[in-house]
Structures are given as C-alpha cells and as structure tokens.
Amino acid sequence: MYIYNVTINIDESIHSEWLTWIESHIPEVLATGHFLSAKMTQVLVEEEMGGITYSIQYTAKTREDLDNYYKHSADKLRNDGLKKFADKMLAFRTELKVVNEFFPAVNSN
C-alpha cells in the first residue's frame, strides 16, 4: 500500500471557503479510481507563517495506481485548487510506502 500525503497551509481569510471546496475535491480525487480511501486531518502545530494546516492522506493499493493518478489526473486536480486559491494556499506532497501495520492484541476501546 502507498499513501499520497498532501499537506496544505490555508490562509485564515479563505479557510471557510476552502473547507467547503475540499469536501467536494476529495471525492473527485477518489472518483479517479486510483485510491481506496482518503483521510483528512488538521495539523496541530502552529506555523510561524500563520494559517491553518491540514494533511490529506490518500491510500493507493499499488505503486501503479499512484503512478496512473500522476499520469492521468493529478495536474488537472491540482490546478483546480491553485486557480481558486492561488497565493492563499501552500501545498506540498509526500509519498509513503506502508511497510507494516500493527494493531493492539486486545482492543480496549
């Protein structure tokens, strides 16, 4: 499994508008068929530059799925956000390969 992580810092002046937009953007990314799921989290570290930071983690089953996303869909979907929010949003992307997953032997929750 692979995780395509997008970390995004949003200027507070467009935060509400961006949240509304991202709620429809994530399903668009999933609709490409290259990812199994997505998880959106808020980063709980205050940035010196200000703003609010989120991490969106898309899970791909294979490296081929991730490569096909780049080849067929990534540019258009990335540009949608850049056109709409321009200099009010800063994003960087990281690829992660899942090596192993661990779970508690007894679930106490």
How many domains does the chain divide into? 1
Burial tier of 10 (Cβ tally within 10 Å: 0-12, 13-18, 19+): buried
Residue type, 73: S
CATH number at residue 74: 3.30.70.100
| Domain-embedded: residue 108 | no
| Domain-embedded: residue 26 | yes
| Domain-embedded: residue 87 | yes
pLDDT at 79: 85
pLDDT at 57: 98
pLDDT at 61: 96
- How far apart (Å, rounded) are the C-alpha atoms in residues 46 and 39? 21
Could you list the residue range(s) of the whole structural domain that residue 54 is in? 2-97
Burial tier of 27 (Cβ tally within 10 Å: 0-12, 13-18, 19+): exposed
| Domain-embedded: residue 62 | yes
Helix (H, G, I), strand (E, B), or coil: what is residue 53?
strand
* % of the chain at pLDDT higher than 90: 74
Give residue-wise pLDDT tens across range 74-84.
998 988 888 88
Distance of CA 15 to the CA centre of its chain: 16
| Domain-embedded: residue 107 | no
pLDDT at 109: 65
| Domain-embedded: residue 6 | yes
